Structure 1
Amino acid sequence: MQIIHKVDDFLHTIFPNIKDENHIISVLEDFYSYGPYKPKVRIENGFVIVDIDINNISNQEIDFRKVISFCENGNFSEAKPILLKLIDKNPTISEYHRILGQILSDEGEVEDAINSLIYALRWDSKNSYALIMMGNIFAKEKDDIETALKYYDQALIINPSDNITINNIGANLLQQNKFEEAKEYFYKALKLNDKYPNTHYALAIIAESEGDLHSAFYSFIQTLKCSKENDFLYKTSSQSINNIVNKIFKTDSGKNIFRKYRVILEQKGGVEIDIVKDETIPTLAKIELAENYNRDKHIVKFKDTSPYYPHLIMHELVHLDFILDAKKDETNLLFISSHQHKLKFIKSIDASLKKLNKIGMTEEKIAQFSSDLFEGFNSQIFNAPIDLFVENYLFNEFPELQPFQFASLINIIQSGIVTGTDKNTSDLIPKDIFSKSKIYNLVHAFQLKDLYGINLISKFNATKLEIDQAITFYNEYLEYKDDKSPAEEYELLKHWAEDLKVNDFFELVGENQYRQRSNVDDYLDSLEKDPFSVNEKDPIKEREMKTFLDGQKEMGLNMAVVMFMVDALQYFKNVNKELIKKIAFEIALQGAHGYRPDEDNYRVNSIPNKLFSGYHILAYYYVSWALALPEVLHELQLPFDEEYKMASKLNI
C-alpha cells in the first residue's frame, strides 16, 4: 500500500505537528506505524511517499499477538520459537528483538539478552522499553549503575514527560537499594505528576529505610491521598503509617512542639501559661483562661493516657491564640448558655424525656441526663466549627505535629462513629439532637479526608440529608479557610446553629461588653459617656450591621422603607423638634443591641398605640434622627439615604 502527499501548506494543515521540512519523515513514520511495524517514508520531487507493507503486517500480526499472549502468561518456551521465526522473516522490527531480550533475561541468559536489546536499539534507538530494560540489566545483573544510568537517561530524553517511565526507573534502582540514585528519578517523576501514588509510596519506603520518620509519614500520607480506598497501596500505606506513628510517639518531639509554642503565646498575650497533667478532668484536655478563673495565668490541663496528647495540648493553645488575636482586634465573642437557654433545650426534647419516664427512668436521672445532654450538645455547637480552623492551623503551621494530629483526629472521629451508630445511644438521645450531632461529626470526617486521605465518612451510616448538610457546612468552612480574619470563626458557629435551628440554646456576646456589664461601675461609666452605644465597638452589632448592609446593597432601593418613611414624615409633620429628639433617643436606646428587619411587635413609648415591624421602626429611627439630629445621622450607619430622598419627594 502506498500513500502520497504533496509537500505544501495543506500537508502542514493535516499534520500540524510538522515543524519544518526535515521533520516530515519522522512525523509520518510515527503516524503510519502499526504496533511494531513502521512504514518506509521518502521525499521525491515535492511529494512525500509512504510505503506500508500491508501483507507483511497482516501475516506477521497473528504470530506477534501469539507471542505477546504467551509472554503475558509467562509461557516463554512457546513464545520463543515463534518470535525467532518472525525475526528471521523480518529482522528490521525493533520490538521483536526487544521482546526476545526480555525472554532471554528471564531465562538468565544475560549476555544474549543484552545482544538482542542492542539489535532492538540499532533498528530503533528510540525504543524506550529496550533502553529501560538495558538499564535494568546493568543495574541488577551487573551492578553497573554508571552504565545503567546512561540507558535510563536516554529513555528520559525520548519520553521527558512520561512520569510512569521515570517512576519505573526509580523503582528498579530502589530494588537494588540504590536509594540516592532512585530518589533523583522519583523527584523528577513527582514534578511531572504529584498525584501518582506509586512515586510517593517509593519515597516513603526510602525515607523509612533511612530512618527519616517524618518524611516517611508525609510520603505515606500522600500515597493515601492519591490512592483509592480498595487499592493495594492504600491498604499497605495505612498499615505502614501506624508503624511510623508509633515510632514517632517514642521520641520527645511532641513535647518540644508545645513547649516552644507556649513561650510564643506567653510573649504574645503577656500572661504565663501552665501545662498540667490532670487525670480528673472530664475531657482529654481543656484550657482554663486566667480571666475566667480570676488567676494570673492560663492553665492547660491534659491527660497523658494516649500517646498523642501533645496534639490535644496544642489544640487548646491554638484556641488561646485565636482568642488573643480576636481580643487585639476587639472582636472576641463569648459563648453563653443561661438557665433560660437550658429550659428552651429541655422543652425542645420534652417528648423524648417523657418516653424515658415511661420506661422507668427516675425524674432525678432524667434531669441529670437532660442537663448532661444540653452541656454536651452545646459544647459540640461551639467547638465543631471552630475546631476546623484550629486543626487546619495546626496542620499548616506545625508539620512536625502531624503524626500526633493524625492519630488523635482518627481517635476522635472513631469515637463519634461509635456514638453515632450505637443503637442504645440512639434509643436514648432524641432523634433530632442525635442527627444534628452526627452532622457536626461528619464535618470533621470530611476534614480528616482532606488533610490525611483517611475516609471514615461511610462508617457513620448517615442519611443522605445528613451528608448533604455536612457537605454544605464543610464547603462554607472552605470559603473562610484560607483568609480567616480574627473571630470570623464565630460566623460559622452562628450560621450553622441557625441552619440546624439550635440557636436558641446559647448566646454569643462581645467579650468586652459582657465583662463591662459584669462590672457595674464600668458599665455605668460607659453608659454615661455613650448612652446610645453609638461609639461602642460591639463585634456582634458590627457583624449584624455588616450582614444587614450587604443585604441592602443586594436589594437596592427598599420601597417598603420608602413608604414607612413617608408615614414617619407625615407623623412628625406636626411634632415639635424637642419631642422628635426625645423619640429619636428612645428608639436609639431601645435599639442599642440592634433591630431585626424580619421581626414584628416593636413599640415606642412616646408613640402610643402603635406597633412597628422591623423595617417600620428602622424607618422611624432614620427619619427622627434626620429631623432632630442631622449632624450625627451618619453615625447610625443606616443604609437608607436614597430611600429618605425618595420619601421626602413623595411627602411633598
Structure 2
Amino acid sequence: MQIFYQRSEFLKKLFPDIDLHNDDQLKLAIKEFYKHGKLIPEVKISGDSIEINISDEFFKEDPAAFQKANLLCQKRKFSDARPFLEDLIKRHPTISEYYRTLAQTYEEEGSHEEAIDILIDALKWNPSNHWALILMGNIYIKYYKDVNTAMTYFDQVVESDPNNYVVLNNIGGTFLQLGKLTLAERFLSKAFKANPKFPNVTLGLGLVNFQKGEFRTAFDFAIDTFKNEEHVEGPVFQKALQLALDSAKSLVKQQVGKESLVDYIQEIENLTGKEVRIEEDSTISTAAKVEFAENYGRDFHLVKTNPKYPNTDHLIAHELTHLKLAEEARKGGVNMLFIGKDSKLEEFKKSIQGTLKKLEKRGIPESSIFKYSKDLFKGILSQVFNTPIDLFIEDYLYNHFPELRYVQFISLYQLNVEAHKAVNDPKIIDLSPPDILTKSRIFNVVYARHFETLFGIKMEKTYSIRPFEKEQIDAFWDEFSEYRNDREAGEEYELVLHWGEDLELDAYFELVDEIEYRSQNRPSSKSPEDVLTQIEQDPMQMDSYDEDEAEELRKFQEQHAGKDINMAVAMYMIGALEYFKGMSTDKVKEIAYEIAMLGRTGINPKKKGYKLNKIPGTSFSGYRLLAYYYVSWAVAIPEMLKELQMPFDKEYELALTLFNH
C-alpha cells in the first residue's frame, strides 16, 4: 500500500506540530504514526513529494460489521452505531472509511471537535478520501465560518480527482447554501466541465445565476436540468421547475419580449393588409382566440385574451401565428376553413347517451345537460382543429422569437397543467364520456410531448396511458414529425383531417376550401350571380334562400333558359376559377393531371365523395369534379383542352362572364 503527500498546507493540517521543511522531523513523525508493531513503514522524500510504503497485510477489513454500523447510521441511531465503529477501528486501524463514518456520527449530533480529531486520522490513512475531505470542509464552514481552512480540504478533492463531478457538486452546493456565490460557481463549473449532463450541477449553476440576477442563464440551466433529470416527482426536477418559472417571470416582469411582440403585430398587419386589434374578454371559453376580419365582416383582425390567463404576450403571439399560417395558405390558394356541423349535435349526444343518462339520474337540469353536451361537442372539435396547428405555431414562436420563450414557457406550462387535469381529475373522469375522454387524452399527450421537445418538461410521464392510446399518440407524433421541419403552406390542414378521421370525429366537421366557400356564401344584395355562388350540393335548389334571393335566382335562370347550359357545372366552374386564381400554372397542372388520372375510370356526375390528394380536405360531387377537370385544363393546358372532348364549352364561357363580372 502506498500513500502520497505533497509538502503543502493540507499536510500541515494533518501534522500540525512538525516543521514541514525539516525532512528528518517529517520522516520521524510519519514513521511514528504509521508504524504497526514491529513493522516500520518506509518513507521517501523527494523535493515536495512524500511517498509512504506500508505492507498490504495491514489493510484488512470487516465488511459485515461495517454494514451493520452503516444500517444503524441510516436509521439515525448514531449512538448505537458508534461502538461497532470503534471496535472496527481497534481491530482494523488502517481503514480510513471507518474513521470517516465514526466522525460523521459525532458531527450529526453536534460534536464537531471530536469529529475533526477523528477525521484527521481518516485523512492520514487516505488523503484522497473525498467524503472525509468534504465533511471536514463543511465542519469548518458550518461551525467556524472558516472558509480558508475549508478550502484547504476542498482543494485537495480537486487535486486528487478533478473529474469527480459528484464531489465537486456537493462542495459547490455547500457554498451555495452559505451564499458564497463565487466559490459555489467555481466548484460547480468544474463539476459541469466534468459532466455537463449531471442534473444536480445544472440546477446548482442555475440557482447561482438566479441569485446573481442572470435570469436568462438561470432559465437555460433549469431547462438543461429538465432534459437530464428522469425523476419528474423528485426534488431536483421540482426545484428546477420552480427555478425556470421564477426566472421566466422575472424576465417577463422586465418586459423582455415586448418589443418582439410589437414588431410581430406590425409584421402580421403588413402580411394581411389589415389592422390587428387586441382586447380582453372574460367571456371566451379559451385562453385566447382570434377573429379573422374576413369571418366577421370587419376591416381588422381581433385578438381576444381571457384575463384568467396572465401570460398575454404569448397568447397574442400564438393567435397572430394563426393569422400568419392562414394568410400563407391563402396566398398559395390552399387555405381551408374548419366548419363544425351543428346539425350533428343530436347524433353526438346519442354517442354519449350513457353519460347523459347518468347526469339525468343525478338530478342535473335538462338545460344544464344540453349545455354540457354542446360544450363537450365544441370542445372536442376545438381539439381536432387546434392541436395539430398549435404544434406548428409553438415551433414557429420558439424558433423565431427567442425573447418570447420565457413567457411562452410559463404559458404552455399552465396550459399543459390544465390539460392534464382535464383528463385526470377523478371528478371530471366520473362525469365524462369514456370515448371522448380517451380522444381528448390522446390530443393532450401529443401536446405534452411537444412541450417536452421544446423545454424538456416530461409531462407525458404524468399521464396514465393505455397501450392503444399510446399507439395512437405515437402515430400522430410520427405524422407531425414528417411535416415538422419542411411544412408547406396549408399542409397543417392535412393533419387536422387525418387525426379527425383516425379518431372517428370527422363526421362532426368539414374542411372546405376558403375561396370556394366564400364564393358560395357571398351576401345576396348585389346580383343573381352572387346568389348562385352559394349553391353547393345542388346548384338548382332554392330552399336555402329567402324570398328576395329566390326571386333573383328565378330571374337569372329565366335569362339563361333554353341555351342548353348545365347550370350546375357552370356554377361549379366559377368556384374552380376562384380556387385557381393566383395559383401557379405548374400547381394547377398537377391538379389537372390528378383529375385526368381519376377520370380514366370514369366520373359519374351523380356520384358524391370524390377526393383529390392535391386539394386535401375537400369532397367533390361528380359535377363539381367535372367542372374542376375542365377549368384546370383550360387554365393550365389550354392547347390540350379539345382532346378532353368535354361538352362544357358554353358552361365555361358563362362561368368566365360571371367570374369577371
Give the TM-score, by structure 1 length: 0.61
Is residue 2:164 matched to residue 1:162? Answer: yes
Match of 2:154, as an amino acid?
Y
Q: In the alignment, which residue of structure 2 is the partner of 1:507?
A: 510
Report the secondary structure of 2:78's partner residue: coil
Structure 1 residues 533 and 123: CA distance shift in structure 2, 3 A: same
Query: What CA distance in whole angstroms lies between the structure 2 residues aligned with 1:245 and 1:129?
Result: 36
Q: In the alignment, which residue of structure 2 is the partner of 1:85?
A: 90
Report the secondary structure of 1:263's partner residue: helix
Q: Deviation digits for residues 358-387 of structure 1, max 9, x if unmatched?
A: 969999999877665554433221112112
Per-residue deviation, 1:65:
5.4
Structure 1 residues 120 and 479: CA distance shift in structure 2, 3 A: farther
Q: In the alignment, which residue of structure 2 is the partner of 1:288?
A: 291
Q: In the alignment, which residue of structure 1 is the partner of 2:78?
A: 74
Alignment of 1:194-205 (within 5 A): 194-205=196-207
Matched-pair contact (CA < 8 Å) for 1:285–1:303? yes
Is residue 2:300 matched to residue 1:333? Answer: no
Q: In the alignment, which residue of structure 2 is the partner of 1:387?
A: 390
Structure 1 residues 296 and 187: CA distance shift in structure 2, 3 A: farther
Structure 1 residues 354 and 410: CA distance shift in structure 2, 3 A: closer
Is residue 2:310 matched to residue 1:307? Answer: yes
Query: Size of the alignment, in residue pairs?
Result: 524
Match of 1:152, as an amino acid?
F
> Which shows bigger deviation, 351-360 or 128-137?
351-360
Match of 1:440, as an amino acid?
F
Query: What CA distance in whole angstroms lies between the structure 2 residues aligned with 1:144 and 1:543?
Result: 82
Q: In the alignment, which residue of structure 1 is the partner of 2:459?
A: 455
Per-residue deviation, 1:84:
4.8
Query: What CA distance in whole angstroms lies between the structure 1 residues aligned with 2:312 and 2:457?
Result: 22
Report the secondary structure of 1:276's partner residue: strand
Match of 2:444, as an amino acid?
N
Match of 2:480, as an amino acid?
Y
Structure 1 residues 489 and 154: CA distance shift in structure 2, 3 A: farther
Structure 1 residues 326 and 125: CA distance shift in structure 2, 3 A: farther
Matched-pair contact (CA < 8 Å) for 1:419–1:425? no
Q: In the alignment, which residue of structure 1 is the partner of 2:188?
A: 186
Report the secondary structure of 1:386's partner residue: helix
Match of 2:304, as an amino acid?
K
Identity %, equivalent residues: 31
Q: 1:322 aligns with which of 309, 322, 325?
A: 325
Matched-pair contact (CA < 8 Å) for 1:357–1:366? no
Per-residue deviation, 1:115:
6.8
Structure 2: stretches of 5+ with no match in the other structure = 1-40, 43-52, 523-528, 534-569, 645-661
Q: 1:228 aligns with which of 226, 231, 234?
A: 231
Q: In the alignment, which residue of structure 1 is the partner of 2:405?
A: 399
Match of 2:428, as an amino acid?
D
Matched-pair contact (CA < 8 Å) for 1:353–1:366? no
Matched-pair contact (CA < 8 Å) for 1:166–1:189? yes
Q: In the alignment, which residue of structure 2 is the partner of 1:279?
A: 282
Matched-pair contact (CA < 8 Å) for 2:69–2:85? yes
Alignment of 1:432-471 (within 5 A): 432-448=435-451, 451=455, 453=457, 455=459, 463-471=466-474
Matched-pair contact (CA < 8 Å) for 1:442–1:470? yes
Per-residue deviation, 1:392:
3.9
Structure 1: stretches of 5+ with no match in the other structure = 1-39, 42-49, 550-560, 569-582, 608-617, 634-652
> Which shows bigger deviation, 256-265 or 512-521?
512-521
Matched-pair contact (CA < 8 Å) for 2:231–2:237? yes
Match of 1:378, as an amino acid?
L
Report the secondary structure of 2:282's partner residue: coil
Q: Deviation digits for residues 269-291 of structure 1, max 9, x if unmatched?
A: 44332112233445432112233
Structure 1 residues 530 and 194: CA distance shift in structure 2, 3 A: same
Matched-pair contact (CA < 8 Å) for 2:202–2:225? yes
Q: Deviation digits for residues 135-191 of structure 1, max 9, x if unmatched?
A: 445544554545544543442344343321221121122232211221233244344
Report the secondary structure of 1:422's partner residue: helix
Structure 1 residues 172 and 369: CA distance shift in structure 2, 3 A: closer
Query: What CA distance in whole angstroms lies between the structure 2 residues aligned with 1:154 and 1:354?
Result: 71
Q: Deviation digits for residues 486-516 of structure 1, max 9, x if unmatched?
A: 4332222122112112223333344455556
Matched-pair contact (CA < 8 Å) for 1:94–1:121? yes
Report the secondary structure of 2:511's partner residue: strand
Q: 1:409 aligns with which of 406, 415, 419?
A: 415
Query: What CA distance in whole angstroms lies between the structure 2 residues aligned with 1:303 and 1:62?
Result: 65
Structure 1 residues 259 and 603: CA distance shift in structure 2, 3 A: closer
Matched-pair contact (CA < 8 Å) for 1:309–1:404? no
Report the secondary structure of 1:508's partner residue: strand
Per-residue deviation, 1:127:
3.6
Alignment of 1:12-23 (within 5 A): none
Matched-pair contact (CA < 8 Å) for 2:249–2:407? no
Q: Deviation digits for residues 89-109 of structure 1, max 9, x if unmatched?
A: x55x55456556656766877
Match of 1:465, as an amino acid?
F
Q: In the alignment, which residue of structure 2 is the partner of 1:12?
A: none
Query: What CA distance in whole angstroms lies between the structure 2 residues aligned with 1:167 and 1:301?
Result: 47
Report the secondary structure of 2:504's partner residue: coil
Matched-pair contact (CA < 8 Å) for 1:152–1:169? yes
Report the secondary structure of 1:413's partner residue: helix
Match of 1:409, as an amino acid?
L
Give the TM-score, by structure 2 length: 0.61
Report the secondary structure of 1:161's partner residue: coil
Match of 1:323, as an amino acid?
A
Q: Deviation digits for residues 238-290 of structure 1, max 9, x if unmatched?
A: 67777777777766557666445323433454433211223344543211223
Q: Deviation digits for residues 102-125 of structure 1, max 9, x if unmatched?
A: 567668777886676566555544
Per-residue deviation, 1:331:
5.7
Matched-pair contact (CA < 8 Å) for 2:173–2:204? yes
Matched-pair contact (CA < 8 Å) for 2:336–2:493? no
Match of 1:404, as an amino acid?
I
Match of 1:455, as an amino acid?
M
Per-residue deviation, 1:336:
3.5
Query: What CA distance in whole angstroms lies between the structure 1 residues aligned with 2:373 and 2:109?
Result: 75
Report the secondary structure of 1:314's partner residue: helix
Q: Deviation digits for residues 512-565 of structure 1, max 9, x if unmatched?
A: 5555666769999996999899998499x999979x99xxxxxxxxxxx9xx98
Structure 1 residues 486 and 419: CA distance shift in structure 2, 3 A: farther
Q: In the alignment, which residue of structure 2 is the partner of 1:31?
A: none
**CA RMSD of superposed structures (Å):** 5.7
